[in-house]
Amino acid sequence: MKRIAIVVHEEKPHAADAARVLVAACHRRDVEAVTMNGDILPSEVEAVIGVGGDGTVLRAGRLALSAGIPVAGINVGRVGYLAEFAVDEIEAFAEALAHGRLRVFPVMTVSVEGSGFTATGINDVVIEKVVSERIIEISVAINGRRFAEYRTDGMIIATPIGSTAYSLSAGGPVVDPEVEALVLTPIAPHSLLSRSIVVSPDAEITVTLEIDRPARVNVDGRETATVDPGESVVVSRGSQAARFMTLDTHPFPQAVRHQFGLAHA
């Protein structure tokens, strides 16, 4: 690669330091690295690198997805699920980047469509309550067939790579990002059905709001739309896969070990 864009976590001083190290490492290998100040990609970049944490990589991933180019992450803290590379691996990363030695693998995305809106996420789609003290009632259909009703704070529909984010904190399973599936996880359900459901990556999931109060639709943590009572949203596999770059130095099982503190157990 000859030209990359870098997205830096603006509130982490160590991220800015790591970005400068990355720019210098790329420069020594004749790779131009452009540090971004907004959300408009520079022209002719071949990849986007997030420097910070998983949230920064997610932002970089959205930009890369829109441009059809790959993404990778430098983590200034612990090794993350999305931000695979540590600061002390920047030189090795830049070397692999310059010589085309990084493996690029596809990661499925998730799409949501409702009345007047569509959106695509890398991590998840969340349908959740707007009023904090009042739950919502939703019905869920899978491939056009009635599945279940929930009285709940919300429903998370996550990709495998998103299974380690909000879905995990709500009690969902950890899924290898190279697996293809959709994970449905209710948030604090007032229901006998409280477990996550893992369905085919090609499933079409229809969520209908059944009670007289609105719900909010968030995609990758960003508010996207409001759903009114009686309205439905349809969630399915995104039409385009995200593309992540890796050296396989921190395979997914090892990343899980680090995140859960199992490495010293």
Domains 3-107+241-259 and 110-237 share a fold: no
CATH code for the part of the protein at 3-107+241-259: 3.40.50.10330
Catalytic residues: 54
- Give residue limits of the domains in the chain: 3-107+241-259, 110-237
Residue type, 130: V
- The pLDDT of residue 71 is 97
Q: Which residues of the chain have pLDDT under 70?
A: 78-80, 258-265
Residue 191 CB partners (closer than 8 Å, separation 6+) = 148, 149, 150, 151, 152
Nearest Cα to Cα of residue 235 among 208, 202, 205:
205
**Which residues, listed in sequence order, are joined to residue 120 by a DSSP beta bridge?**
111
Instruction: Report the predicted TM-score, pTM, of the whole model to 2 decimal places.
Output: 0.91
Q: How far apart are CA 21 and CA 24, in angstroms?
A: 5
Structure tokens at 97: 């980047």
- The pLDDT of residue 265 is 55
Nearest Cα to Cα of residue 154 among 254, 84, 223:
223
- The pLDDT of residue 123 is 96
Q: Cα–Cα–Cα angle for 258, 52, 98, nearest 5°? A: 95
Helix and strand numbers, DSSP H then E, in the chain:
5, 19
At the topology level, CATH places domain 110-237 in Tumour Suppressor Smad4 (2.60.200)
Q: How far apart are CA 167 and CA 128, in angstroms?
A: 13
- The pLDDT of residue 257 is 72
